[in-house]
A and B are shown apart, each in its own frame.
Chain A
Amino acid sequence: MSIAADRRAARRVARQAEAQGDRTLISDYDRRRPGVRFGMRVTHVFLFVTLVIAGLGPILWLMKAAVTPTQDTLQQPFALWPSGIDWANLSTAWNDIGISQYFWNTIVIAAGAWFFQLFIATTAGYGLSVLRPRYAPILDGLVLATLFIPGIVLLVPLYLTIVHPPLVGHSLLNNYLAVWLPMAANAFNILLVKRFFDALPREVFEAARTDGAGPVRLFWSIVLPMSKPILGVVSVFAIIAAWKDYLWPMLVLPDPAVQPLSVRLPAVQSQTELDVFLAALAIATLIPIAMFLAFQSVFLRSAGLGGAVKG
């Protein structure tokens, strides 16, 4: 980009900022001063270098190492393929270590966790916010109370519940329900969805009811379509949490055939050659990164929400 075009762009941005009246720490007047301008340039360079090294660096290195023979990675970790690219690492990891199977398991776990979390959060949010029977405040309180109990206190009793579930009669170990259902008991999701439903205009519900819509139709055709933003946020939370989870699936899925990547990767490390193992790590990061690039705005909005600024 030429300097003139650069400057034009900067001026346009500055004008926009002035027009919107939103400014930050440094005023537009200051931004025109040579000293501050130099400082901003230094800031840009610093941010770019730091963020590329810290944010992108490890991923790029992993992608490089995934197709590099073990000896090269060990002896010259930063050299770019001194003895050629070894594409076979990827196929070895995918086929011989069974990454394909664990990859599939991870997707099934994430999909189920997504479905159950969304199902529970939306039906409960609808029941507590829109239908709101007399006993709703009690449920509100009981759900809210679980927010204060850190997950760790549940570890042992929850594990025993899975081993001896009520009414089922046989252990749920190695059954994906053991991962999906405890994840669905998520008070944070319900709170998010309920607050969103609370903010929806009641007049629309009244109009729909007058037109003869029953509770199910109101839920499916009115409330859910109006709630796409929050459903996106909860979906991202649900899928990420399922993809990341380690301790719980390790406990309740002892059979390697049903374990997800997060559990299998540490387990296979000792019997796997380094280059193949790094290729496996690279494959395991691909889907989350692809999802992030595809749904960046939803991710970043969810991240902002995660910090408690949930109105």
Chain B
Amino acid sequence: MTTLSDTGAPPEPDARRPAAPRTVRSTRRTPMTWLRGGGLWNLLFLLPMIVVFAVFSWSPIVQSVMMSLQKTNLITSQWVGFDNYVKVLSDPLLGEAVLNTLWFALLALVFGFPVPLFMAVLMSEVRRAKGLYSALAYLPVVIPPVVAVLLWKFFYSADANGVFNTVLGAVGIPPQPWIQDALQAMPSLVLEATWAGAGGSIIIYLAALLGVPSELYDAAEVDGASIWRKVWHITLPQLRGILFIMLILQVIATAQVFLEPFLFTGGGPAGATRTVLLYIYDKAFRNSLGGAYGEATAVSVLLAIALALLSWLYFRLTNRWSSS
């Protein structure tokens, strides 16, 4: 992979062109020289990207900032300053949604984050059936998320004959209400999300574990280090770059969690799983007569600013990480 980044910065953009005859004339740039230099072809190749990004990426980004300062019903809109922001920030429902999202993120961090790492460390040690284990671990990622959630929704049946409750019953634990209970709903969502996402992280950690220099382990053994000390003092410190990156990626993903609360509980019971994204969705699209688009975008912009900071940090890290 490093070979890619080595050539990532080409020496001089113009140095690799057959520019010799052109440099003489290049003191004056006219449309004719532009055309002869292949300017039209350059533009033709870049035009699809420019159009698609302009319409579906750049302009919506600008629009979202503008809309958050407007009151709009799709036909007419008027500037209202920071009214939308004031309105949503004083809405107790948003505070609740933020807390719910943080709760989801924290649970995913405490329970979901270490599991793939643990599995990957074990999987990298076995020498047979490695491919089989990777494939098995990755299978849940392949199942379409909607199917996974609907299937787990059935697994979570509060009935004593529910799939999970049958398993619990076999070891003598009474049936649990799972997603029907305000306290258990969020951990249940996190359990499914962890199951659905662990495979991807395992594959990434497996790749990263290959990069740990074997001399470090050799040296530690000369010093008489036990297996656990090697894990603690070599493996984990060597993985800290990718661990931090995965941490940021996970926080960015969990802050935007939508599918699980939307399909499992619809935000219930009693608003216990209403996340920020569900709040935005409700504001903009729940009311079929036309949503509070300004307020919804105001929340989106606030969330985006927070996440953009994280993404920026992530990008800085990956760049440093891949170039070292």
Contact = CB atoms under 8 A, between A and B. Distances in A.
A288 interface: yes
A105 to B, nearest CB: 14
Contact of A77 (B137, B163, B281, B308): B163
Q: Is the interface of A mostly helix, strand, loop or mixed?
A: helix
Given A206-B16, A265-B147, A198 B10 contact: yes
A146 B308 contact: no
B154 to A, nearest CB: 7
Interface string B48-67: 11101101111111011001
A223 to B, nearest CB: 11
Contact of A154 (B1, B10, B60, B322): B60
Interface residues of B, number: 124
Contact of A153 (B129, B140, B145, B304): B304
B94 interface: no
Interface string B242-277: 100110010010001011001100000000000001
Contacts of A77: 161-163, 166
A44 B129 contact: yes
Interface string B139-167: 11111111110111011000101110010
What band does the interface of chain A fall in when counting residues whose beta carbon is under 8 Å from B?
35 or more
A262 B262 CA distance: 13
Given A25-B230, A25-B235, A156 B52 contact: no
Q: Is the interface of B mostly helix, strand, loop or mixed?
A: helix
B103 interface: no
A184 interface: yes
B151 A299 contact: no
A128 B273 CA distance: 44
B52 A303 contact: no
Contacts of B281: 155, 247
A160 B145 contact: no
A59 interface: yes
A71 to B, nearest CB: 11
B127 A14 contact: yes
B301 interface: yes
Given A23-B214, A139-B50, A307 B138 contact: no
A136 to B, nearest CB: 7
Interface string A104-139: 000000000000100110011011100111001001
Nearest to B53: A185
Given A154-B61, A182-B56, A289-B139, A58 B16 contact: no
B188 interface: no
Contacts of A166: 55
Interface in B189-245: 195, 199-201, 203-204, 206-210, 212, 214, 217-218, 221, 227, 230-231, 234-235, 242, 245
B52 to A, nearest CB: 5
Given A148-B311, A304-B203, 4 more contacts: A185-B53, A285-B144, A308-B245, A309-B242
Interface of A: 9-10, 13-14, 17, 21-27, 30, 36, 40, 43-44, 46-48, 50-52, 54-56, 58-59, 61-62, 74-78, 116, 119-120, 123-124, 126-128, 131-133, 136, 139, 142-143, 146-161, 163-166, 181-182, 184-185, 187, 190, 195-196, 198-199, 202, 205-206, 209-210, 214-216, 219, 243-244, 246-247, 251, 261-263, 265-266, 269, 274, 277-278, 281, 284-285, 288-289, 291-292, 296, 299-300, 303-304, 306-311
